[in-house]
Amino acid sequence: MTSKVEGKVVGIDASKKMLDVNVYGEKKVNGWDNDNLGVNQLGERFSQMNIKLIVVEASGGVETRLVSELASRGLPVAIVNPTRVRNFARAAGQLAKTDKIDARMIAEFGAKMASKPQQLVSEARRKLSALVTRRYQLVTIMTAEKNRLSTTPDSVLDWVTQSLDWLEGQMAAIDQAIDDCIAAEENWQEEAILLETVPGVGPVTAFTLLAELPELGKLNRQEIAALVGVAPFNRDSGPKKGKRRIFGGRASVRRVLYMAALSATRHNPVIHAFYHRLMAAGKLFKVAMTACMRKLLTILNAMMRSGNPWKSPIPCV
């Protein structure tokens, strides 16, 4: 058992098959299988150590099982953006890249950049998130198949049609599973109803926000905009004023937020007036839409904080 003298920071580079683990300050990098047995053994080992923080690089979902196991044991886990870690490594002069080097750099990043542990995500929210992700995958496949209909030869048209019929059946089943998942959580039902009182926000936007943005209503407007990735960042240097651009954030949330904002420019009186004021001022369409997404998100965030539906006064905090 590790001596509990001071909290240790651990960096983990996750791949499909392996977990490369480094304790900050140590040169050795240990490898663990990224399967149920390996993850459980790693969790047991960390439970015996005085852990200050475990930092895991986001790796397209292959880190999910590990993070869930560690968080369920009450261990402090932070998921970090790989771009930030890579930029940190370059700034430190580390240009080479291997799994072992990455594990060391992730540990050093966690120790020096004061990453914050994530809260444990409930099993219900993980299930809802998985269903929402699968639904988006089905939409993508269905769109591709529908686009093929106009150019598909008659000899294979039936195959495409059958594929679409099957996909529509899958979509109906997924939608029902999402409805059942939300119905099983009383507070989710109330939140979904609250969100859908806003003109422009439909069921898809509501259940995506519930699944992918649990922080909604818990942060201020600047924090929630930065988290989603609709907050523009300055690029100024001396007298030069660069274009402000959005960066990072949660792409899955931005997708549905864009469609909701687009609908809101027609049907939501607040967003409609805001959008036309921006366009009249000569703003580019994409600039105006990004601003509308941010304003709509601010409205939804304020509503979730106050618990008041759309018709009630909405404080912008």
Residue-level pLDDT at 94: 87
Considering only CA atoms, which of 27, 91, 33 is closest in space to residue 11?
A: 27
How remote is the C-alpha of 134 from its chain's centroid? 15
Model pLDDT, residue 2: 39
- At 68, list the tokens: 């869930």
Q: Which residue has the tokens 């069921």?
A: 203
Each domain of the chain, given as residue ranges in start order, spans 8-113, 125-184, 190-317
**CB contact at 8 A, 230 and 249:** yes
Hey, which CATH number is domain 8-113, 3.10.50.40, 3.40.50.1100, 3.30.420.40, 3.40.50.300?
A: 3.30.420.40
Answer for the pair 29, 81: CB distance below 8 angstroms, yes or no: no
Residue 256 tokens read as 């549905």
Ranges of the chain with pLDDT below 70: 1-6, 114, 233-248, 312-317
The pLDDT, as a whole number, for residue 19 is: 94
In the chain, DSSP assigns E strands to: 8-14, 18-23, 29-33, 51-57, 77-80, 236-237, 240-241
| Confidence at residue 5, expressed as pLDDT on a 0 to 100 scale | 41
Query: What pLDDT, on the 0 to 100 scale, is given for residue 83?
Result: 85
Task: Calculate Rg over the CA atoms of the chain.
Answer: 23
AA letter at 178:
I
> CA-CA distances (angstroms) from residue 118 to 54, 79, 225?
10, 7, 18
pLDDT at 317: 43
At residue 3, the pLDDT reads 39
What tens digit of pLDDT does each residue of 256-277 get? 999 999 999 999 999 999 999 9
201: how many CB neighbours lie within 10 A of its CB? 27
pLDDT score at 148: 93
Lateral strand order in the sheet of 8-14: 29-33, 18-23, 8-14, 51-57, 77-80
